[in-house]
Amino acid sequence: MKKFLLTMAVALTAMFATAQTKTYTDALTVDINGEPSEPQETTINVKSNSDGTYCLSLNNFSLGEMINVGNIVLDNILATEEAGIRSFATKQTINITAGDGDADDWMGPMLGDVPVDLKGEMTEGSLYCTIDIDMSALLGQVINVKFGKDIKGTRTYTDALVVTINGQSSAPQQTTINVDEKVDGTYTLSLNDFMLDGMPIGNIVLHDITATDNDGVFSFEKKQNITITSGSDDSVDWGGPMLGEVPVDMTGKMTEYKLYCNINIDMSATLNQVINVKFGNEDVTGIEQIAGEKGEKVIFDLTGRRVEAITAPGIYIVNGKKVIVK
């Protein structure tokens, strides 16, 4: 493993460092006059300001293939946090700047002051937002932009993580993985601030994960090409963004309280290695067994509160087994 890490260090130091911002990649659609475009994979950057506000940047924004608009940047965004989800909303009048390349190719700087209405929510691994760009003064249109999927809830799992390279496994490290549930029933899994024996790699995020439910155990598998983004510390040179597109193959299962996943990160194109990451224990069960003393019934409701008897219809856990009372 040390030989591999030395090889990786040499490869990364030979590359240029990238800007340190929180980078989200997801599907973006544009709606004009009630006609939405096809979803396009797009990147939005969110930077944390020193005063606790955020700056959101949608760069090189275009309307189709023919109309290049430019960079849409909203700063000083306030957010409130609840259950790991930061919600935000702002109305600002901005000047859209030119994107990359020839400034004459971008329409945005010619539009002058443009009112923009932004709403959304974000976690460490997911961003959802709607951006209404009011071009009615010049074009008679309000352009509606939607990025990502609405976040229903987020779960945080903490367990042992083991990294294996060339058959050599690291010592287990206490690590956290976040799973965001979306309103369409899919999930986003985020392994943030991933390190290889002290070497900073970045955030490993997989989107659009579907899971099958078997008595409270949700099983999933996902193959996806991703770009590893920078981690949370802006002062660190994260190596992941320099690796380009990386194939990832993940399998696993989860309950409300436990997560197990096996992640193969294919770096063979750049570093001639496949890195295996295992998180948690494969023995995940939907309902933990609770034994009563001397044959007594031990009853819990779905909130986890122990009750003396079943007095109303509902779902209960009786001596570790799910019981439905109608």
- Whether residue 13 is predicted with pLDDT greater than 60 in this model: the reply is no
Query: Does the CA dihedral 163-211-158-124 come out positive or negative?
Result: positive
Most confident stretch, 85-89, 98-102, 320-324: 85-89
Taking only the tens place, the pLDDT of each residue in 159-174 is 999 999 888 899 999 9
- Percent of the chain predicted with pLDDT > 90: 53
DSSP 230-258: P-S-TTS--SGGGG-EEEEEEEEEE-SS-
Third-level CATH fold of 152-279: Lipocalin (2.40.128)
pLDDT at res. 288: 47
Taking the C-alpha atoms of residue 79 and residue 148, their distance in angstroms, rounded to an integer, is 18
- Whether residue 74 is predicted with pLDDT greater than 70 in this model: the reply is yes
pLDDT at res. 9: 44
DSSP 23-78: EEEEEEEEEETTEEPPPEEEEEEEEE-TTS-EEEEEEEEEETTTEEEEEEEEEEE-
Query: What single-letter DSSP state applies at residue 97?
Result: B
* For the chain, domain boundaries: 8-149, 152-279, 293-325
Q: What is the mean pLDDT of the chain?
A: 85
The pLDDT confidence band at residue 271, using thresholds 50, 70 and 90, is: confident
Calculate mean pLDDT across residues 66-81. Answer: 93
DSSP 192-235: EEEEETTEEEEEEEEEEE-EEEETTEEEEEEEEEEEPBP-S-TT
Taking only the tens place, the pLDDT of each residue in 135-164 is 888 778 899 999 999 999 899 999 999 999
pLDDT at res. 322: 65
Evaluate whether 196 touches 8 at the Cβ level (below 8 Å). Answer: yes
Give backbone dihedrals phi and psi of 269, rounded to 5 degrees, phi first: -70, -35
pLDDT at res. 326: 54
**Pick from 97, 128, 127, 99: which is nearest to 114 by CA?**
97
Evaluate whether 135 touches 144 at the Cβ level (below 8 Å). Answer: no
The whole-model pTM stands at 0.73
pLDDT at res. 264: 96
Q: Do domains 8-149 and 152-279 have the same CATH topology?
A: yes
pLDDT at res. 289: 45
Task: Tell me the residue ranges of DSSP E strands in 83-150.
Answer: 85-95, 113-122, 127-135, 141-147
Minimum mean pLDDT range among 28-32, 127-131, 191-195, 214-218 = 214-218
- Whether residue 190 is predicted with pLDDT greater than 80 in this model: the reply is yes
- Whether residue 5 is predicted with pLDDT greater than 50 in this model: the reply is no
pLDDT at res. 63: 85
CATH number of 8-149: 2.40.128.350
Strand partners, 281: none
pLDDT at res. 183: 92
The pLDDT confidence band at residue 296, using thresholds 50, 70 and 90, is: low
The pLDDT confidence band at residue 19, using thresholds 50, 70 and 90, is: very low
